Structure formats: C-alpha cells, structure tokens
Amino acid sequence: MRITAKGAARAVFLVIALGFGVWAVGREWDAVVAGFAELSWVSVALSLAAVLAALGGGMLTWRALLADLGSPLPVRQAAKVFFVGQLGKYIPGSLWPVLAQMEMGRDLGVPRSRSAAAFFLTLPVQMASGLLVAAVTLLAAGPASIGPYSWALLLVPVLAVLLEPRVINALIGFGLRSLRREPLERPLTRRGMLTALGWALSGWIAYGLHLAAILADAGVSGVSGPRLAVFAVGAFALSWCLGIMTFVVPAGAGVRELAMVAVLSPVLPSGAAIAVALTSRIVLIAGDLVCAGTAALAARSTAVPKSQPQGDKAPRNAL
C-alpha cells in the first residue's frame, strides 16, 4: 500500500498525540486511579443517558440541514444514516463518515452532493454554537475559566458569517463548480439554519450534563450545584472545539482529553482531571455504539413509506 506524505503526517500526529496522552496518564497514574475510584456507577449511568440525548441533538442538527436542502428523512432512517456513518470517525482519515453517509443516503433517495453538503455544514454549526456556548457559560461560571483560551473565541464572528445562508450557498456553489458537479437544487434557508442551531444548542446542554454527572463525584473545588452544571457545559464545549480543530486524528483521539484536562485545571488536580477526561471518552464511545446499534435495528423494522417524497420533490423544512 502506498503511503502518501499526508498519510504519514497524520500517522505521526496521531502517535505524538497519543504519546503525550499516555505520558500524562503514566505520570499521574496513582492520582488517576484514585480519581476513577471516586466515580460511582450511578453518575456514569446518568452521564451515558445525557450523552445519548446529546448525540440525538447532533443527529437532529444534521437532519434539519438535510431537510432544508431538500431531502427530509424519517427520524429512524435519518438516525441510521447518521449514527452508523459516524462510526467512520474512529477510522484514520477524515472522509469515512461522509462517504458512509453518502452511500447510505443514496439508498434512501438522497443525492450524494446533498448528503455531503449536510455533513460539512454540520461541523461549522456545531463549532460556532459550541464556542458561543463556551464563552457564555464559562464567563458565567468564572472569567478565569476561559482566560487562557479566549483566543478561540476570535473564531466566533468568522463562523457566524459563514453561517449566513447567502454566504454558505455561495461557498457551496463555488465548490461544486470547481469539482464540475451540478449545483444544489435548493439553497439553504435562514429558517433551516436556525432550526439546526437550536438542535445544536440542545446538544451542548446535554453534553454539559454528561460532564457534570462525572464531575459531581470528582471533588471539584470552587463550583457546585447549578454553577457546576454551567461550568461543565462550557468546559465540554470548549474542549470539544479545541479537539475538533485537530481533525487529522480519528475522533480527536487524545487531543480532546488533553484539552479537557487543561480546561478543568482551575477546579481539579491533574490526576482527577485525567480520570474525568478518560471517563468522558469511554462514555462517549459507548454512546456512539449504543446509538448506532439501536438506530440500525430500529431502521430495519421500519421501511421508508413509498409515499414519502424524497430527492428534489421533498417539501422544504420537513422535520
């Protein structure tokens, strides 16, 4: 198999990222073990329930964008395409999820270009909403929480401009023309974008509750009760955004955890923070697997109704 320079660079980055992660865990091993010992199964179960809700918000974000572009899908079929396709993010290389979604969507009458557009639009929607949520919640929890990462907030206005449908439609049109592909039949609308943003925001709240459930057992200092939940929403959103900026590694492996440990440093010692970050990663992986398996089984029991309009004739904004 031929190894390209880009592939080699991705492999090197992955090894470095995971190497730093292993080194950090090894250095604080006793504290990490002690941190795991503080976690209860009840908190982990609550955390998993919140993750499942958050993943559902992510799926509905993507589904809203796909519907606005002209291909509404029933919830069960949309869940299968989204969640099963998302398992591709654990494979080295950033295109496996979109390729899987394009092929599964095509079986349901969704043009490949439309599936690709919805996939690539979901990322800036989640990034912009995540950074905005992080700014608001971390400032509310305590200005010191976001101080070292305030530079990331400079991306908010840039992403806000990119979320304007006229700008997005122009960029998509340019990209398709460059690839000598047919333009999208229906442009993205402001209503569709706002719907997607609403689902994305609900997802961030659920992700924050997932982290708050773990932090409740970790012995955080300086924040408690509602303030802990607010801090957790911002901490997870910021660490996710920092991790996704290094999209060259599968699902941000190692990078998101390093970012989360740094974000949690004002309220937790490093060992406990590492235990929280690793627990969060395990719960997220479990959530991905549960959603993919459940969606695949549910979709098998329900076929798309033949009367359901698909493709170009589908009604706009059907949710």
Query: How many CB atoms sit inside 10 A of residue 281's CB?
Result: 18
Return the C-alpha torsion angle 206, 256, 34, 264, nearest 10: -70
Cβ atoms of 131 and 155 within 8 Å: the answer is yes
Report DSSP letters for 109-158, one per residue: T--HHHHHHHHHHHHHHHHHHHHHHHHHHHHHH-GGGTGGGGGGGGHHHH
- The pTM for the full model equals 0.77
Chain centroid offset of residue 207 CA: 10
Q: What pLDDT is attached to residue 2? A: 56
Which residue has tokens 């300086």? 222
Determine the pLDDT at residue 315: 44
Instruction: Tell me the mean pLDDT per 10 residues along the chain, length 319.
Output: 55 51 53 61 90 95 92 90 81 72 86 85 88 84 64 73 82 76 79 93 95 84 78 89 64 68 82 84 86 80 48 44
pLDDT, position 10: 47
Amino acid identity, residue 25? V
Residue 194 vs residues 5, 71, 121, 155, 241: alpha-carbon distances, Å: 40, 17, 13, 19, 20
Q: At 230, list the tokens.
A: 């607010």
Report the chain's terminal Cα–Cα distance, integer Å: 44
pLDDT attached to residue 3: 56
| Pairwise CA distance, residues 61 & 209, whole Å | 19
Assigned token pair, 302: 């329900």
CB 270 within 8 A of CB 31: yes
Residue 254: what pLDDT? Answer: 60
Q: Write 251-258 long-range contacts (CB < 8 A, 24+).
A: 251/89, 251/90, 253/14, 253/17, 253/18, 254/14, 254/17, 254/18, 254/20, 254/21, 255/17, 256/281, 257/21, 257/281, 258/17, 258/20, 258/21, 258/24
Distance, CA of 288 to CA of 105 (rounded, Å): 19
